[in-house]
Homo-oligomer: A and B are copies of this chain.
Amino acid sequence: MTKKQTYSIGELAREFDVTTRTIRFYEDQGLVSPSRRGQTRIYSPADRVTLKLILRGKRLGFSLAESKELIGMYQPQGDNRHQLLALQNKIQQRREQLEQQLRDIHALQLELDDAEQRCVDAMKELEN
């Protein structure tokens, strides 16, 4: 018994914790193109991977349009060089944004520590 070869929209929705509406929306936007059996959508393992990539893109703050570009990279079709560079630029931007976020979080934590201290002090004051 090897891996599952096809998936229904409901199965994928459950697995990735999104609604079927969401998955259909991605199809509408041209990010996935499942085959059909009659009316019903049949998703392949490749489609499943595509969904995974979309969701990872979302976590990274990519728009659906950007994720679509990104996913296009995985189907090598001649000269990816240009798109590859564009993509690497975006990754680099995210990296820098991440670093900024880390700095921001650190600053916020320092202020939190300070606020906490003031809070503790105020409570001690009340105990006297």
Closest to A115 in B: B73
Residue interface bits A30-64, CB-to-B below 8 A is 1, else 0: 00000000000000000000000000100111000
A65 neighbours in B (Cβ, 8 Å): none
From B84, B104, B112, B116, give the contact of A116 (CB < 8 A).
B84
Which 7 A-B residue pairs are closest in the complex by CB-CB distance?
Answer: A80-B119, A56-B104, A60-B104, A59-B104, A73-B115, A76-B118, A81-B119
Q: Chain A residues in contact with chain B, CB under 8 A?
A: 56, 59-61, 73-74, 76, 78, 80-81, 84, 87-88, 91, 94-95, 97-98, 100-102, 104-105, 107-109, 111-112, 115-116, 118-119, 122-123
Known interface pairs A100-B59, A119-B76. Does A84 touch B105 (Cβ–Cβ under 8 Å)?
A: no
Kindly report how many copies of this chain are found in the complex they form together: 2
